[in-house]
Structure 1
């Protein structure tokens, strides 16, 4: 089995078309077909079902693809590790993050890190909560910021970086807008603007409301934090969100108000694989993250 065969196989699996895969790889279609044929012959199974010009993976083909993704991740990491061993300050950090940390938390940390290591590079991936954990487990990336920090999983190491307050965001002309603080029960009759079902932060808000005796009436949903801000700005409802998402970015015609009784908080941390060592530059950034947030007062709520 050759690495070239695996590369061709994975491209055909992704595009489900031999000709398109050949064009993407900049090789002849016959070369791709021949390598796939040789690979199937060597394995003794059909990896694809042919449907005219299109192809799709067989059940065993899907299993083989997942294993090959893991294998190629290991190969790529090994290659990078050799290069970064010689000069970790010039390597690449692959890190994933949720929507709520896209505008301020991660960019602030990266900016400070690159002041120390200006030649370090980053590959960033935005993902949903469970995708972050699955990606670290499978080796798609070795670092992920996450909030709230999950309970320990078998293959994941969790480190809390800071705990942040969850605040209310209200239209500036709302009857409660001039209050110095709010209690959650005071919002029970308000129209809520939340992330869609499936987002962990939405579950946090709903569960916090249920704990004080009501279920929020969801008037609107938005796919990201900026969408929620825009809907509140248009006076269509109120929302709760991590305070850090409003630093230097409070929407026009809105006001943020601290929450008390209960005080709603979210832990924010970084997850890494237990079964794989971080690459040199990733280890450099991981250690930096823990020092950076430990001394940042605005993150220590």
Structure 2
């Protein structure tokens, strides 16, 4: 009796549908049906009642499901504990921060105040098309990033605002339509999800932005705006420009300018406890922004 086949059984038992389970497990329907039949043959007990094309757990199947779930959960937990024990000297988390880079340092410092033995390997600048998700435990990214897919959760949704110098001709306003600033000089991020979103919004508003500076450093973008070199798109919560005395933030009325900050986490049955701990800390932090 193979462990993998027991995991297949759990998925079939949850869905009570061979086709749905085969798609979820990414194996062929005939192969999955054969595995379940072989398992029943080995046990010499039928686990499902078959009614045409549908299947349903019977009383034996429900009993077996509970016991297998309990056993595999215990096994998975034991593997995690064993790995944590073995690698306790090197608790490292590999993070790629493609969004919210202005607050990631603060997050790491606050977390390490609580857990000083946990180390971080932080990357903040990678070309969108070169991202290999397998190289990272966690990736913070925004909607508009095309190369990170699957196994993600939403951390935060925020407005994209227009940042202008404090003495700009539009500084008396609190909001604008994006079409009103089509003739302005723009300071933009060089690449990534936010750039992809704002390019699309400008196109929707009927213009291509005239870009005078490109930078992947939010601090550089902030300074260029403050010294009157142009205007820029700014995430309303995660970039924290609202306290800068030389910058005015305007809400964009039309089109709807928003983005979602997301967290990708490497899919694994044996994720180490220190990674799960930081993941929860990260989720809680963003919920309180």
Q: TM-score, normalised by structure 2?
A: 0.63
Summarize the alignment of residues 197-236 of structure 1 with structure 2, pairs less than 5 Å apart. Answer: 198-236=191-229
| Residue number in structure 2 paired with 1:117 | 115
1:150 to 1:279, Cα distance in 2 relative to 1, 3 A: farther
Pairing partner for 1:142 from 137, 154, 163? 137
| Residue number in structure 2 paired with 1:283 | 276
Pairing partner for 1:130 from 123, 128, 144? 128
| Residue number in structure 2 paired with 1:189 | 183
Question: What is the SS of the residue equivalent to 1:229?
Answer: helix
| Residue number in structure 2 paired with 1:26 | none
List alignment gaps of at least 5 residues for structure 2: 1-79
- Residue pair 1:160, 1:268 contacting (<8 A) in 2 also: yes
| Residue number in structure 2 paired with 1:244 | 237
1:153 to 1:255, Cα distance in 2 relative to 1, 3 A: closer
- Residue pair 1:169, 1:232 contacting (<8 A) in 2 also: yes
Q: Using the TM superposition, give the Cα deviation of residue 86 of structure 1 relative to its aligned residue in structure 2, in angstroms.
A: 7.0
Supply the distance in 2 between the matched residues of 1:113 and 1:227 (Cα, whole angstroms): 27
Q: TM-score, normalised by structure 1?
A: 0.60
List alignment gaps of at least 5 residues for structure 1: 1-79
Supply the distance in 1 between the matched residues of 2:161 and 2:239 (Cα, whole angstroms): 9
- Residue pair 1:149, 1:160 contacting (<8 A) in 2 also: no
Q: Using the TM superposition, give the Cα deviation of residue 204 of structure 1 relative to its aligned residue in structure 2, in angstroms.
A: 1.4
Question: What is the SS of the residue equivalent to 1:274?
Answer: coil
- Residue pair 2:128, 2:192 contacting (<8 A) in 1 also: no
| Residue number in structure 2 paired with 1:94 | 94
Supply the distance in 2 between the matched residues of 1:149 and 1:279 (Cα, whole angstroms): 29
- Residue pair 2:165, 2:248 contacting (<8 A) in 1 also: yes
Q: Using the TM superposition, give the Cα deviation of residue 207 of structure 1 relative to its aligned residue in structure 2, in angstroms.
A: 0.7
Q: Using the TM superposition, give the Cα deviation of residue 97 of structure 1 relative to its aligned residue in structure 2, in angstroms.
A: 0.7
Supply the distance in 1 between the matched residues of 2:242 and 2:101 (Cα, whole angstroms): 12
The number of equivalent residue pairs is: 211
Task: From the CA coordinates, give the structure whose radius of gyration is larger.
Answer: 2
Q: Using the TM superposition, give the Cα deviation of residue 114 of structure 1 relative to its aligned residue in structure 2, in angstroms.
A: 3.2
Supply the distance in 1 between the matched residues of 2:130 and 2:123 (Cα, whole angstroms): 9
Supply the distance in 1 between the matched residues of 2:144 and 2:196 (Cα, whole angstroms): 14
| Residue number in structure 1 paired with 2:151 | 157
1:192 to 1:249, Cα distance in 2 relative to 1, 3 A: same
- Residue pair 1:88, 1:281 contacting (<8 A) in 2 also: no
Supply the distance in 1 between the matched residues of 2:127 and 2:243 (Cα, whole angstroms): 24
User: What is the CA RMSD across the aligned residues, in angstroms?
Assistant: 3.2
- Residue pair 1:85, 1:280 contacting (<8 A) in 2 also: no
1:260 to 1:88, Cα distance in 2 relative to 1, 3 A: farther
| Residue number in structure 2 paired with 1:180 | 174
Supply the distance in 2 between the matched residues of 1:249 and 1:265 (Cα, whole angstroms): 17
Q: Residues 124-161 of structure 1: CA distance to partner in whole angstroms, max 9, x if unpaired?
A: 12133626841x23xx221111112757967x411111
Q: Which deviates further from its counterpart, 211-220 or 115-124?
A: 115-124
Q: Residues 166-197 of structure 1: CA distance to partner in whole angstroms, max 9, x if unpaired?
A: 1111011111112111221111111111123x
| Residue number in structure 1 paired with 2:84 | 84
Q: Residues 28-69 of structure 1: CA distance to partner in whole angstroms, max 9, x if unpaired?
A: xxxxxxxxxxxxxxxxxxxxxxxxxxxxxxxxxxxxxxxxxx
1:176 to 1:249, Cα distance in 2 relative to 1, 3 A: closer
